[in-house]
Amino acid sequence: MNSTDPKITVVVPTYNERDNLPKIVDLLAALPVPNVHVLVVDDNSPDGTGEVADKLAVDGPIPVGVLHRTAKDGLGRAYVAGMTRALDEGADIVIQMDADLSHPTTAIPAMLQTLAETDAAVVLGSRYVPGGAVASDWPWHRKALSAWANFYVNTILRLGVKDATAGFKAWRAETLRAIDVESVQSNGYAFQVEMNHRVVRRGLRIAEVPIRFEEREEGVSKMSLGVQIESALVPWKLLVGRDPR
């Protein structure tokens, strides 16, 4: 690492991910990328994930910070808190990724290269561009729901991206400031859509690199009916310019 290497902060929201978190940190540490930091945003996990994160902050293989939140109030809120902290701490690039090992860390170098060599404001890890894929063990109804959600969002908002609900992204710090990330109110998949919409609305470009999206290895999905309903309503609210709240 030298003084010209950009500071890269990977924001990882957690809730009951004590088994997965050390694996993610090890995978990030193994990347051929300098100056990588991890910021864990833990929503008071009852399984002790916060304590695991604190231990990694002391003796982890790369710098790990921990933001402890007192309540579980949604993935979007956790990402906003983590991204805001990362910007305050001087990150040049902020990567958002889930804690369930569904996002392949091996795609990060390609995402960073795309940021470095193009004018992209943000780079998505995309399941639906050539070379991308979803887990082979996904049941048909999950594949259908994912494909339908992307068709639905793009039909309404014309985002011009193949994977509008992707949650694996590499952001330029200036992009997050330009879209005023602190004011984003949506949660779940709707958070991903609102962030993309803000980028497109400001005339900035979204790039996509292919990833294979895997099923989580440990724990259970956090998807709820409320998240699904919000995800259906938010595109229409964004279209007419209303506050998604």
Q: Distance between CA atoms of 150 and 163, rounded to whole angstroms?
A: 6
Cα dist. 3→20, 34, 90, 172 in Å?
Answer: 31, 11, 13, 18
Q: Distance between CA atoms of 102 and 165, rounded to whole angstroms?
A: 14
What are the pLDDT digits (tens) for 105-121? 999 999 999 999 999 99
Give the chain's mean pLDDT.
Answer: 87
* Least confident stretch, 120-124, 172-176, 199-203: 199-203
β partners of residue 16: none
Look at 94 and 243; give whichever has higher pLDDT. Answer: 94
Length of the chain measured in residues:
245
Q: Is 36 helix (H, G, I), strand (E, B) or coil?
A: strand
Question: For residue 7, is pLDDT > 60?
Answer: yes
- Six-digit token pair at 121? 């404001």
Q: What is the pTM of this model?
A: 0.87
Q: What is the pLDDT of residue 219?
A: 46
β partners of residue 42: 14, 68
Question: For residue 1, is pLDDT > 70?
Answer: no
